[in-house]
Amino acid sequence: MTKWVYIFGEGVTDGDATMRNLLGGKGANLAEMARLGLPVPPGFTITTEVCTRFYEDNQQYPEELKGQILAALEAIGKLTGRTFGDAAHPLLLSVRSGARVSMPGMMDTVLNLGLNDEAVAALARESNDERFAYDSYRRFIQMYSDVVLGVDGDFFEEIIEDYKDENDLDLDTDLSAEDWKAVIVSFKAKTAEETGEPFPEDPMEQLWGAVGAVFGSWMLPRAKTYRRLHELPEDWGTAVNVQAMVFGNMGEGSATGVAFSRNPSTGENALYGEFLVNAQGEDVVAGIRTPQDLTEAARIQAGSDKPSLEALMPEVFGEFKDACIKLESHYRDMQDMEFTVERGKLWMLQTRNGKRTLKAALKIAVDLAEQGLISKEEAVKRIDPASLDQLLHPTIAPDAELDELAVGLPASPGAACGEIVFNSDEAEAAKADGRNIILVRVETSPEDIHGMHASEGILTSRGGMTSHAAVVARGMGKPCVAGAGTVRVDMRGETMVADGRSFKKGDLITIDGGSGKVYAGRVQMQQPELSGDFQRLMQWADGVRRLRVRANAETPADVKTALSFGAEGIGLCRTEHMFFDGDRITSVREMILADTLQERRVALDKLLPMQRGDFVEIFDLMEDLPVTIRLLDPPLHEFLPKTDAEIAEVATGMGVDPEDLRERAEELHEFNPMLGNRGCRLLISYPEVAEMQARAIFEAAVEVSRAKGKAVHPEIMVPLVGLKAELDTVKARIEAMAEAVEAETGEKLEFTIGTMIELPRAALLSDDIAQSAEFFSFGTNDLTQTTFGISRDDAGSFLGTYQEKGLLEKDPFVSLDSDGVGALVQMAAEKGRSVRPALKLGICGEHGGDPASIAFCEKTGLDYVSCSPFRVPVARLAAAQAMLAGADSGTL
Ligand code: ADP
Ligand code: MG
Ligand code: MG
């Protein structure tokens, strides 16, 4: 026979905390508390399986359920010395819902169930408090009618208000037993009128009604919505907890309250909570009366003149404090508890692991580990890596005054304030003048990189979470609100309209990339604080992880940020970003549009010293940490001049006719630049470019190693290789250049040459390619594009639908598609190492900062991940957790 009902109470407890799936969170923890010997009113839990069964079985209860409930009621009766439905010593019950995870939208608790005209008289006699008894009875009718019978709760509040008016009474507490009796008559009449049936007097009917309502609430639209939003499966079902009542409203010696074993917003190790004297149920959180502090310390700090529980009921307080300590060390985590005091006796009604802010989470994890309650590894496991993002950017101050203008997508976290500017050149100029800028555009393109760099934050009116603005901003660690559709941007008129108000160039706004909100004016902010606890936990994570963490960085500012966040190298230094800076773009355009080798060399000669300077700066900052430099990669069209002014500028620089130049630019036009002349193809079409870049790298290496007296080891990476021959062709140029620089300087160069694996062909033939490559870096952005055949820039219009319809679980550009793209990565890693066992393997796509993708990299045995500087701490923690998860599952 299936066991559908589990009893808890002194000496009779069936369940325990491990049975959360079957008993729900609340039920499992009530059982566990009873087992620990804590004072828990006895009761029983109807399992989640009954709920699942109920819905599978055409809303029928399993046959044995009734008998099991009756047996459980009898067991509770024995423990309490009462009988359910008895006229002399009635057992009164609470009926509480409880799914596996706490779930708003489920049925509210019904208290005082079992009361009727007879039982209320017994309650009055037994408590020697008639007023209390009738107050409890009216509360029951009110709750039951509302929650179970669906009668609007406002009716009852109206009846009470009318009664008070007619009888010249002010507060609920002014109502006597006789008053409540009169109110009860009106309550029952109202319920009968609304439901067409008399209020149920039979306790058994009341119980089945409440149990049915809990199961019914599992399928209410609000519960369904919550499950959909939080991806909780329907077949989990909810449990029902039926428990003997204890009364916090039995006069001045009674109370009810809620508590956290530590402060949930700061993490401070001090009992924290509130209570109310002579109150029941949710009175504390309902806000009708102002609750009192639990401890004297909290009372003094709050400057309250209402006594604390510690002062008011020292013995109960002492017992409760001991219970908190016991529960916390038992669950080895901060607890969130509910309790009631009935005439000086403490009762524990609920415990669960408490919700907390990230700041508190860090402090609590570190403190628990230092107290020896949990291991350092456990502390490392308890922090969600993605949540660290919050700590790494300035944020809106909690008490800031806000004038909200619009809401867009929270594309890149952090808050930023500045003057609005509508184009990138102006942003750059304003930055040079020392002004703070928010770049506002309909959308951004690769040519806005310098403007984005110069801005404090970016606001776009169009585009999704993977739009250019969003991806680049995240990479730069700049706050970004994308796709704020209600903001009208007029690029020509240099104005924007939001919330019916018009803003012009130079006006101040603040954006919050964590919430997607846009505010008028300057909003007060707080700076990121890498607190002691945070650093401590990161050190512990570093002690655990195997994967190295590098950063994708090319500007000195990014490199410094990466280092300060603990990057152990640069996994991707994109040289093209250096080409967009300032005047350089003109030289790059001259180089690309050159008709002859001679012309091209002239342009390259202008670029060489700039590139060398960049590398000197980076090598200098990175000391002896590895730096992977990728040779020129992006599609040509990103460099081509577009406007007449741009063409004229380049033409002047080259001394050619603008018309000829325009023709040349048109010749270079490509239909699908993403798959066009880019990456190593460009380096093969224009070998001088590879030579110039190699020379810049080598000369910088010589300069820095001479200055520091120690060798620099650049790793030179050739992008978009599909054929071994491509790599060999470029590699020959690089090696020849190395020989030349060695001959010129008399220094011996130490460097490696490797390749990106970002095309399926490269992955398929990686054993071949590994014969020439000394390292692989998986460029998973392009590898995802080319494996799926989906252009990332165009994916917005359909990938969202795919996710909604469940065709794809996650956006593969955010979280690595481990089945498909991952299979290629894994194969390439294996094949590559089969010919070159020491082959160094890393990943440098957006995925390098995504915890799930990092777990994949750990499993696949890569050497490092490389991510944007601001995600380095996220990656360090995720790498540690991936290592620990592997150890737990026995794969290590
Ligand atoms: P929630 O899931 O909303 O926290 P609970 O089931 O915990 O709902 O019930 C809410 C409140 O009802 C509790 O905090 C407690 O004050 C009161 N309550 C529940 N069960 C009992 C009981 N057996 N005796 C007295 N009060 C109870
Ligand atoms: Mg509630
Ligand atoms: Mg509760």
Domain boundary among 499, 526, 553: 526
Instruction: Assess whether 107 and 151 both reside in one domain.
Output: yes
Instruction: Assess whether 550 and 495 both reside in one domain.
Output: no
Alpha carbon dihedral 533, 534, 540, 544, in 10-degree steps, equals 160
Distance 323 CA to ligand 3 centre (A): 17
Domain CATH number, residue 153: 3.30.1490.20
Which residue(s) pair with 851 in the sheet?
A: none
Distance 74 CA to ligand 3 centre (A): 25
Nearest atom of ligand 1 to the alpha carbon of 256:
16
Instruction: Assess whether 467 and 581 both reside in one domain.
Output: no
Q: How far is CA 713 from CA 452, 570, 625, 701, in A?
A: 31, 12, 8, 8
Closest C-alpha residue for ligand 1 atom 18: 281
Instruction: Assess whether 229 and 341 both reside in one domain.
Output: no
Per-residue model confidence (pLDDT) at position 670: 87
Instruction: Assess whether 83 and 129 both reside in one domain.
Output: yes
Alpha helices in 457-500 (DSSP H): 468-476
Closest C-alpha residue for ligand 1 atom 20: 94
Nearest atom of ligand 1 to the alpha carbon of 338:
14
Distance 96 CA to ligand 1 centre (A): 7
Instruction: Assess whether 27 and 113 both reside in one domain.
Output: yes
Which amino acid, 103?
M
Per-residue model confidence (pLDDT) at position 797: 78
Report the candidate in 502, 498, 501 with the shortest Cα–Cα distance to residue 460: 498
Distance 108 CA to ligand 2 centre (A): 5
- Residue 483's domain comprises 394-526
Helix (H, G, I), strand (E, B) or coil at 822: helix
Task: Look up the pTM and report it.
Answer: 0.83
Report how far residue 328's alpha carbon sits from residue 135's, in angstroms, rounded to the nearest whole number.
36
Distance 136 CA to ligand 1 centre (A): 14
Q: Which ligand is nearest to the CA of 283?
A: 1
DSSP state of 146: I
Contact (CB, 8 A) for 513 and 853? no
Q: Which ligand is nearest to the CA of 274?
A: 1
DSSP state of 83: B
- 369 in a structural domain: no
Max Cα-Cα span within the chain: 109
Report the candidate in 253, 259, 347 with the shortest Cα–Cα distance to residue 34: 347
- 532 in a structural domain: no
Report how far residue 712's alpha carbon sits from residue 710's, in angstroms, rounded to the nearest whole number.
7
Report how far residue 370's alpha carbon sits from residue 379's, in angstroms, rounded to the nearest whole number.
10
Which residue(s) pair with 612 in the sheet?
A: none
Closest C-alpha residue for ligand 1 atom 12: 281
Phi, psi of 44 (to 5 degrees): -145, 160
Closest C-alpha residue for ligand 1 atom 9: 109
Contact (CB, 8 A) for 246 and 276? no
Report how far residue 408's alpha carbon sits from residue 403's, in angstroms, rounded to the nearest whole number.
15
- 533 in a structural domain: no
Instruction: Assess whether 240 and 268 both reside in one domain.
Output: no
Chain centre distance of CA 667: 47
Q: Which ligand is nearest to the CA of 244?
A: 1
Tell the residue number behind the tokens 């208000």, with chain if given: 161
- 463 in a structural domain: yes
Per-residue model confidence (pLDDT) at position 891: 47
Report the candidate in 453, 469, 472 with the shortest Cα–Cα distance to residue 461: 469
Closest C-alpha residue for ligand 1 atom 11: 281
Distance 105 CA to ligand 1 centre (A): 16
Closest C-alpha residue for ligand 1 atom 26: 281
Closest C-alpha residue for ligand 1 atom 13: 281
Instruction: Assess whether 437 and 554 both reside in one domain.
Output: no
Number of C-beta neighbours around residue 630 at 10 A: 27
Distance 322 CA to ligand 1 centre (A): 21
Distance 874 CA to ligand 1 centre (A): 38
Q: Which ligand is nearest to the CA of 109?
A: 1
Tokens encoding 20: 């959360």
Closest C-alpha residue for ligand 1 atom 17: 281
- 867 in a structural domain: yes
Distance 97 CA to ligand 3 centre (A): 9
Which amino acid, 881?
Q
Report how far residue 590's alpha carbon sits from residue 647's, in angstroms, rounded to the nearest whole number.
10
* Mutational test site, ligand 1, from 349, 351, 352, 355, max ligand atoms within 8 Å of CB: 349
Closest C-alpha residue for ligand 1 atom 22: 245
Contact (CB, 8 A) for 365 and 383? yes
Tell the residue number behind the tokens 């000669």, with chain if given: 605
Number of C-beta neighbours around residue 330 at 10 A: 17
Nearest atom of ligand 1 to the alpha carbon of 258:
14
- 332 in a structural domain: yes
Strands across the sheet containing 488-490: 488-490, 495-498, 501-504
Contact (CB, 8 A) for 818 and 841? no
Mean pLDDT in order along the chain per 10 residues (892 residues): 96 96 98 98 98 95 97 97 95 96 84 97 96 96 96 94 95 93 97 97 97 94 84 92 96 95 92 93 76 94 93 98 97 97 98 89 96 96 88 87 94 92 92 90 85 93 82 81 93 93 96 94 82 91 97 91 93 87 80 86 92 96 95 84 84 84 86 91 93 97 94 96 98 98 96 98 98 98 96 81 85 93 98 97 93 97 95 96 86 45
Assign 3-state DSSP to the chain and report helix, strand, coil percentages, each to 5.
50, 15, 35
Instruction: Assess whether 335 and 442 both reside in one domain.
Output: no
Ligand 1 shell residues, CB under 6 Å: 41, 94, 96, 109, 111, 243, 245-246, 256, 281-282, 338, 340, 349-350
Domain CATH number, residue 286: 3.30.470.20
* String of DSSP letters for 610-621: HHHHHHHHHHHH
Contact (CB, 8 A) for 103 and 222? no
Instruction: Assess whether 686 and 723 both reside in one domain.
Output: yes
Distance 225 CA to ligand 3 centre (A): 21
* Mutational test site, ligand 1, from 26, 46, 80, 94, max ligand atoms within 8 Å of CB: 94
Helix (H, G, I), strand (E, B) or coil at 126: helix
Domain CATH number, residue 467: 3.50.30.10
Q: Which ligand is nearest to the CA of 282?
A: 1
Report how far residue 342's alpha carbon sits from residue 80's, in angstroms, rounded to the nearest whole number.
14
Q: How far is CA 481 from CA 272, 473, 556, 679, in A?
A: 37, 9, 25, 31
Helix (H, G, I), strand (E, B) or coil at 90: strand
Report the candidate in 454, 512, 453 with the shortest Cα–Cα distance to residue 482: 512
Closest C-alpha residue for ligand 1 atom 3: 108
Nearest atom of ligand 1 to the alpha carbon of 350:
7
Q: Where are the extended beta strands (E) located within 642-741?
A: 714-718
Distance 349 CA to ligand 1 centre (A): 7
Report how far residue 633's alpha carbon sits from residue 844's, in angstroms, rounded to the nearest whole number.
14
Instruction: Assess whether 240 and 259 both reside in one domain.
Output: no
Domain boundary among 244, 265, 294: 244
Instruction: Assess whether 95 and 181 both reside in one domain.
Output: yes
User: What residues act catalytically?
Assistant: 468, 844
Q: Which ligand is nearest to the CA of 246?
A: 1
Report how far residue 474's alpha carbon sits from residue 419's, in angstroms, rounded to the nearest whole number.
21
Q: Which ligand is nearest to the CA of 258?
A: 1
Contact (CB, 8 A) for 846 and 778? no
735 CB burial (10 A radius; 0-12, 13-18, 19+)? middle
Closest C-alpha residue for ligand 1 atom 15: 281
- 172 in a structural domain: yes
Instruction: Report the residue count for the chain.
Output: 892
Q: Phi-psi category of 355—alpha, beta or left, where left has phi over 0 and alpha has psi -120 to 50?
A: beta
Give every CB contact of residue 703 below 8 A, 6+ residues apart in sequence.
612, 616
Tokens encoding 622: 């990175």
Report how far residue 551's alpha carbon sits from residue 871's, in angstroms, rounded to the nearest whole number.
8
- 379 in a structural domain: no
Number of compact structural domains in the chain: 4
755 CB burial (10 A radius; 0-12, 13-18, 19+)? buried
Report the candidate in 84, 124, 296 with the shortest Cα–Cα distance to residue 210: 84
* Mutational test site, ligand 1, from 242, 338, 342, 345, max ligand atoms within 8 Å of CB: 338
Tell the residue number behind the tokens 């566990």, with chain if given: 32
Domain CATH number, residue 701: 3.20.20.60
Which residue(s) pair with 8 in the sheet?
A: 43
Which residue(s) pair with 7 in the sheet?
A: 44
Give every CB contact of residue 400 below 8 A, 6+ residues apart in sequence.
523, 524, 525
Report how far residue 428's alpha carbon sits from residue 9's, in angstroms, rounded to the nearest whole number.
70
Contact (CB, 8 A) for 618 and 578? no
Q: How far is CA 138 from CA 103, 113, 470, in A?
A: 28, 11, 56
Nearest atom of ligand 1 to the alpha carbon of 247:
25
Pairing between strand 437-441 and 395-396?
Answer: unpaired
Exposure of 547 in the CB half-sphere (CA atoms within 13 A)? 38
Distance 109 CA to ligand 1 centre (A): 6
Closest C-alpha residue for ligand 1 atom 27: 281
Domain boundary among 337, 356, 375: 356
